[in-house]
A and B are shown apart, each in its own frame.
Chain A
């Protein structure tokens, strides 16, 4: 069966550097001395830790539970003892810390009881829940929780399921080796996705520089009698970007403002399909992944690595050369230098490249943009990077948005071809983060403004009510006096005959005033007696609240509540 392929505009052809690491089969990385497992390893929420220091855990045991729909569980990668649940530096360019579960392996690598089920006996909801519980996330790099992508759009029929085995980034070969060695399980995993999404076609895209992987996948597809199409796509970075692969295989262009399911197509990485199969059919949550060790090393190779393995310890397996001066996580086009060599491997870690100046020479100094347009020709999203650069540099972020900066996938093609060696992607990341920051600030300011306006409104209302009350009280007082005067009037009968007729009115007024005064008093009493929301609680509720308060104080989350409110707060 032949498929008509489409082209995407732009793209570049960097040297692939893949042959170094495909010579040897996948090896199992030995147990490291400790495992530092970050809880936040996917897009979405941060799983809650469910273990504490001192707990014994088994391999595959839940250590962090998903805290929402877009969140995926985290598991112990091996059996051992939880040393601590604490903040550690992450494999992220920011170098920020995040909450991790640190496990000292006991060396037994003892699994939890694994349940094997036939997924066909499960409802789609059950399959999705199991995938979430098993921590299955997109292993192509985006780590989006997989179960969140397995619901077809209600209005659009699902035409194509695209499986991404393109692996377009130079140096990385973990998907290549996975397809070569474990094609059958990948294809079985794709079968799960197919059964949940029910697409008309399943297209497996593999760049044509990986004929062995394509052949293995084809053989597995045939052996399992699946109607999947294994398609070799031209090697052109970034053909492995989800949007580019969808374009090449289906001709559809997914803009940044839409989900691919809105266009009747969904895309998963081959490694995600593999882990989905292991999770569903073998009851094995995601506790390890394939990582390519390459770059400035003597023995480049792919390893099956436990999540949480410190990178420096792992990279030693590939024997880095002495002039190695850093570790790049990911490929040379989109990867980043990790802030510390000891940061742990996470689910997004597909490749570690030993960095050296020999391998990646320092960049020549940045020159002014000459508007040559090479970047625009290379941009796979058909943006005008030099215009966005111009406005990002001028901090004219509104203009960068007019030039669709949020459609930029940061693939690095523009920086790659720039003759002025301008780090364009850096400028775009800067502009995006500034725009996000400003949006957050604006939201905060809007909220503050709303709060302030409401407070003003309330103050005015209270003032008006007070004034009304005073006026009524004064009226009542006056009426009382008038009534007294009226009562005294008959005693001096005849002295003021003309006063007799108004006296009836005065009496009436006095009555009215008295009623009103009584009503005002009742209202004031009611208001004074209005209970706070913390009052009128049952003793049980009060006890719980007090305990919570005590814990919060103990954890230094809040200051202990002062006995009397500080002077400043009494102003009103």
Chain B
């Protein structure tokens, strides 16, 4: 007699469906990115994906786990895409490979693989690389730099020299440096209006990449793949602290809109802090996690040593997840009055 436990009916869902939809949701942001910097980002996405799948396959093989089942779950590709999207688009190929291998092998598989990693693997990769290779991780293409696919490939593959033209800064970095150099003599409003690197409300071009992530994130929420808690708390906390300081001194602190659409804020709010494996699971826990990540991201990017703080903020909050989850268990059916 066969054994098959109830329920016999199952909803048509799977891990690979979830991961595929996360990738789909990244496409508006990726499209804006490609429009901004050219095909280099697609090359990086391809390099990261291939590396992630190879590293995952090797680790699965070592553990004797079924390759096809786990490679097709899509989780490695999501990690790869987040790495490619957070690294500089013209970073040398080996930097992306190093970050991806570190993410998959150390941050994910050595902790037990899918579902077991306490830290977001893509953010581990970012943190490791920005600490180990700070210069390379800070080389962003200058605004308006127009390179052909061949030229970009040559730079990524190390065939062409890494010319100064592409060692630009991110809008966040530019803002921070200008304010520091100006030493109180420079006004944020002036900077935003005069410097070419700034666009309508944040970094030129980058603001539309962030808008693309926002669009994809809203779609994820509408598809019920993420709940509202983390993005709302993340954005709420970021707006609250940046708004408070901006109101306090608009000359020295950028407005909330600038912060929301700069750096990794949108990607972090919808795609990174919402990672279920390394994030909180209870509704209140998700609020705390999101708000903590948003606050820390702001503090690090404005007062810290790095141009952006999303990666470190998420990793720091990952550390707190077990405690937050434990302390925010919701009351169950029929037990709401007592607790």
Task: Please report A residues at the B interface, Cβ cutoff 8 Å.
Answer: 8-9, 12, 14-15, 95, 170, 243, 247, 253-256, 258, 325-326, 328, 330, 332-337, 339-340, 353, 355, 360, 362-365, 367-374, 376-377, 380-384, 386-387, 403-404, 407, 412, 415-421, 423, 425-426
Q: How far is the CB of A57 from chain B (nearest CB, A)?
A: 32
Residues on B with beta carbons closer than 8 Å to the beta carbon of A355: 8
Q: What are 7 A-B pairs at a CB distance below 8 A?
A: A335-B6, A370-B115, A382-B330, A384-B329, A416-B9, A421-B14, A426-B5
CB distance from A359 to the nearest CB of B (A): 8
Asked if A325 contacts B2 (CB within 8 A), the reply is yes
Give the chain B neighbours of A387 by CB distance below 8 A. 281
Binds A, one of B38-46, B179-187, B331-339: B331-339
CB atoms of A423 and B5 under 8 A apart: yes
Q: Is the CB of A419 within 8 A of B333?
A: no
Minimum distance in angstroms from B54 CB to a CB of chain A: 21
B residues 263-313 touching A (CB-CB < 8 Å): 276-277, 279, 281-282
Q: Are A336 and B6 in contact (CB under 8 A)?
A: yes
B332 touches A381 (CB 8 A): yes
Contacting A255 at CB < 8 Å: which of B2, B18, B116, B335? Answer: B335
A253 touching B14 by the CB < 8 A rule?
no
B: interface residue count bin? 35 or more
Q: Say yes or no: B115 contacts A332, CB within 8 Å.
A: no
Q: Do B333 and A370 touch (CB < 8 A)?
A: no
Q: Which of B3, B9, B11 has the most CB of A within 10 A?
A: B9
In the complex, which residues of chain A have a beta carbon less than 8 angstroms from the beta carbon of B335?
A: 255, 404
How many interface contacts (CB-CB < 8 Å) are there between A and B? Answer: 140
Instruction: Decide if B333 touches A253 in the complex (CB within 8 Å).
Output: yes
**B62 close to A (CB within 8 Å):** no
* CB interface residues, B 94-135, toward A, < 8 Å: 112-116
Find B9's partner among A254, A333, A339, A370 (CB 8 Å cutoff). Answer: A333
Determine whether the beta carbon of A333 is less than 8 Å from that of B6.
yes
Chain A residue with the shortest CB-CB distance to B338: A255
* Shortest Cβ distance from residue A37 to the other chain B in the assembled complex, whole angstroms: 23
Are B113 and A368 touching (Cβ within 8 A)? yes
Is there contact, CB below 8 Å, between A243 and B334?
A: yes
Contact assessment for A370 and B281 in the assembled complex, using a CB-CB cutoff below 8 Å: no
B7 adjacent to A415 (CB under 8 Å): yes
- 9 tightest A-B contacts by CB? A255-B334, A412-B7, A368-B115, A253-B334, A332-B8, A381-B333, A360-B8, A419-B13, A372-B276
- Interface, chain B (partner A; CB < 8 A): 1-11, 13-15, 17-18, 66, 69, 73, 75, 112-116, 227, 276-277, 279, 281-282, 329-336
A417 touches B13 (CB 8 A): yes
A12 in complex: contacting residue of B11, B281, B331, B333, CB < 8 Å: B11
| Cβ of A414 to closest chain B Cβ, rounded Å | 9
Q: How far is the CB of B21 from chain A (nearest CB, A)?
A: 11
Cα(A69)–Cα(B22), bound, Å: 58
Residues of chain A within 8 A of B6, CB atoms compared: 328, 330, 332-336, 412, 415, 425
A434 CB, nearest partner CB in chain B, Å: 16
Instruction: Tell me if A373 and B276 are in contact (CB < 8 A).
Output: yes
Residues in A neighbouring B3, C-beta threshold 8 A: 337
- Contact of A332 (CB < 8 Å), options: B2, B9, B279, B329: B9
Measured in the bound complex, the distance between the Cα atoms of B314 and A438 in whole Å is 42
Measured between beta carbons, the chain B residues less than 8 angstroms from A328 are: 6, 8
Contact A368/B333 with A384-B282, A423-B5 known, Cβ cut-off 8 Å: no
User: In the complex, what's the smallest C-beta–C-beta distance from A123 to chain B, in angstroms?
Assistant: 34
Judge whether A416 and B333 touch: CB under 8 Å.
no
> Are B334 and A360 in contact, with the CB atoms below 8 A?
no
Q: Are A258 and B334 in contact (CB under 8 A)?
A: yes
Contact in complex: A407, B9 (CB < 8 Å): no
The answer to whether B8 touches A368 (Cβ under 8 A) is no
Q: Please give, as numbers and ranges, the residues of chain A lying within 8 Å of B17 by CB-CB distance.
A: 419
Whether A8 and B333, one on each chain, are in contact in the complex, defined by CB atoms closer than 8 angstroms, is: yes
CA of A386 to CA of B113, assembled, Å: 17
* A370 x B1 contact (CB < 8 A): no
Residues of B within 8 A of A243 (CB): 333-334
Which residues of chain B have C-beta atoms less than 8 A from A95's C-beta?
Answer: 1
Inter-chain contact A386/B281, CB cutoff 8 Å? yes
A326 touches B334 (CB 8 A): no
Chain A residue with Cβ nearest B5? A426
CA distance A380 to B336 in the complex (A): 14
Closest Cβ–Cβ distance, residue B250 to chain A (whole Å): 40
Contacts of A253 in B (CB 8 A): 333-334, 336
Contacts A243-B333, A369-B115, A373-B281 aside, 20 further interface pairs with beta carbons under 8 A come to A255-B334, A255-B335, A325-B2, A330-B6, A332-B7, A333-B7, A333-B8, A333-B9, A337-B4, A339-B1, A360-B8, A363-B4, A363-B10, A370-B114, A371-B279, A371-B281, A372-B18, A416-B10, A417-B11, A423-B5
What are the residues of chain A within 8 A of B5 when measuring CB–CB? 336, 423, 425-426
Does the CB pair A335–B333 fall under 8 Å?
A: no
With a 10 A CB-CB cut-off, give which of B6, B69, B73, B113 has the most chain A CB atoms: B6
Name the residue on B nearest A326 (C-beta).
Answer: B2
* Chain A residues whose CB sits within 8 angstroms of the CB of B69 once the complex forms: 365, 367
Q: Nearest chain B CB to A209's CB is how many angstroms away?
A: 16
Chain A residue numbers with a CB within 8 Å of B331 are: 382
A254 to chain B, nearest CB (A): 6
**Which residue of chain B lies nearest to A374 when distances are taken between CB atoms in the complex?**
B13
A26 to chain B minimum Cβ distance, whole angstroms, is: 25
Complex Cα distance, B115 from A336, in Å, reads 30
- Complex Cα distance, B281 from A557, in Å, reads 56
Q: What is the CA–CA distance of A289 and B4 in the complex, to the nearest angstrom? A: 27
Collect the chain A residues with CB atoms within 8 Å of residue B4's CB.
Answer: 337, 360, 362-363
Chain A residues with CB under 8 A of B8: 328, 332-333, 335, 353, 355, 360
A383 to B17, CA, bound (A): 25
Q: Which residue of A lies closest to B335 (CB)?
A: A255
* Contact assessment for A407 and B329 in the assembled complex, using a CB-CB cutoff below 8 Å: no
B-chain residues with CB within 8 Å of residue A15 when the two chains form the complex: 9
In whole angstroms, how far apart are the Cα atoms of A418 and B15 in the complex?
Answer: 9
Q: Nearest A residue to B14 by beta-carbon distance?
A: A419
* Residues of chain B within 8 A of A367, CB atoms compared: 14-15, 69, 73, 114-115
CB proximity of A9 to chain B, nearest CB, Å: 7
Query: How distant is the Cα of A114 from the Cα of B69 in the complex, in angstroms?
Result: 64
Contact A407 B277 (CB under 8 A): no
Report the minimal beta-carbon distance from A266 to chain B, rounded to whole angstroms: 16
Min CB–CB distance A128 → chain B (angstroms): 28
Q: Chain B contacts of A363 at CB under 8 A? A: 4, 10
| CB nearest neighbor in A for B329 | A384
- Closest beta carbon of chain A to B224's beta carbon, Å: 8
CA distance A367 to B70 in the complex (A): 8
Of B15, B73, B277, the most chain A CB neighbours within 10 A belong to B15
Q: Which of A364, A404, A426 contacts B332 (CB 8 A)?
A: A404
Question: CA–CA, A332 to B7, complex, Å?
Answer: 6
Least CB separation from A402: chain B residue: B329
* Interchain CA distance A412-B10 in the complex, whole Å: 10
Contact call B1/A340, Cβ cutoff below 8 A: yes
Q: Tell me, rounded to whole Å, the shortest Cβ–Cβ distance linking B59 to chain A.
A: 14
Among candidates B14, B276, B332, residue contacting A383 with C-beta atoms closer than 8 Å = B332
Query: Which residues of chain B come closer than 8 Å to A330, judged between CB atoms?
Result: 6
Specify which chain B residues have a CB less than 8 angstroms from the CB of A416 in the assembled complex: 7, 9-11
- Are B10 and A370 in contact, with the CB atoms below 8 A? no
A346 to B81, CA, bound (A): 57
Between B114, B227, B333, B336, the greatest number of chain A beta carbons within 10 A of the residue's beta carbon is seen for: B333
Among B7, B14, B116, B333, the residue within 8 A (CB) of A364 is: B14
CB neighbours (8 Å) of B114 from chain A are: 367-368, 370
Cross-chain contact A380 with B9 (CB below 8 angstroms): no
CA distance A412 to B4 in the complex (A): 13
Across the interface, name the chain A residue whose C-beta is closest to B333. Answer: A381
- Flag if A420 contacts B15 (CB, 8 Å): yes
A371-B277 contact in complex given A381-B332, A412-B6, C-beta closer than 8 Å: yes
